[in-house]
């Protein structure tokens, strides 16, 4: 697996999932991907929960956005929910770093920028 392509796919699917939500407009998202030992931790800030689809809308169906994207779009990756501390996946699948979803100067478009 190509970790750069996996990271790009993760970030694009997070943005796509949250783009239509009113409470997420003009909010700067931050995704931190950090390798810790044998696992990689993925943390999304500010924390957001989503329903898996339009039919499952019970309170018990809510899950963190990063868990939802990994389960839905990465069938071969096993993730462990860290409850409040992000999601854990096996090492080497994503590029470590801090990524920020920023607005353009005119405010019409947004894109992911790696923060060094």
Report the pLDDT value the prediction gives residue 84, as an integer from 0 to 100. Answer: 64
Report the pLDDT value the prediction gives residue 60, as an integer from 0 to 100. Answer: 82
Report the pLDDT value the prediction gives residue 49, as an integer from 0 to 100. Answer: 85
Report the pLDDT value the prediction gives residue 43, as an integer from 0 to 100. Answer: 92
Distance CA 69, CA 71 (A): 6
Q: Say if residue 46 is preceded by a cis peptide, omega within 30 of 0.
A: yes
| Global pTM value | 0.87
What parts of the chain have a pLDDT lower than 50?
none
Distance CA 55, CA 114 (A): 35
Report the pLDDT value the prediction gives residue 113, as an integer from 0 to 100. Answer: 93
Burial (CB count <10 Å: 0-12, 13-18, 19+), residue 42: buried
Name the residue ranges covered by the structural domains of the chain: 3-115
């Amino acid at each position: 697996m190509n970790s750069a392509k996996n990271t790009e796919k993760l970030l694009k699917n997070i943005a796509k999932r949250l783009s239509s939500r009113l409470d997420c407009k003009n909010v700067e998202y931050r995704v931190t991907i950090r390798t810790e030992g044998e696992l990689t931790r993925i943390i999304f800030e500010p924390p957001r929960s989503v329903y898996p689809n339009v039919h499952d809308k019970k309170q018990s169906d809510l899950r963190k956005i990063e868990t939802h994207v990994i389960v839905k779009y990465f069938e071969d990756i096993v993730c462990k929910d860290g409850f409040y501390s992000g999601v854990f996946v096996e090492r080497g699948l994503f590029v470590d770093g801090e990524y920020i979803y920023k607005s353009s100067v005119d405010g019409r478009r947004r894109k992911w920028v790696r923060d060094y």
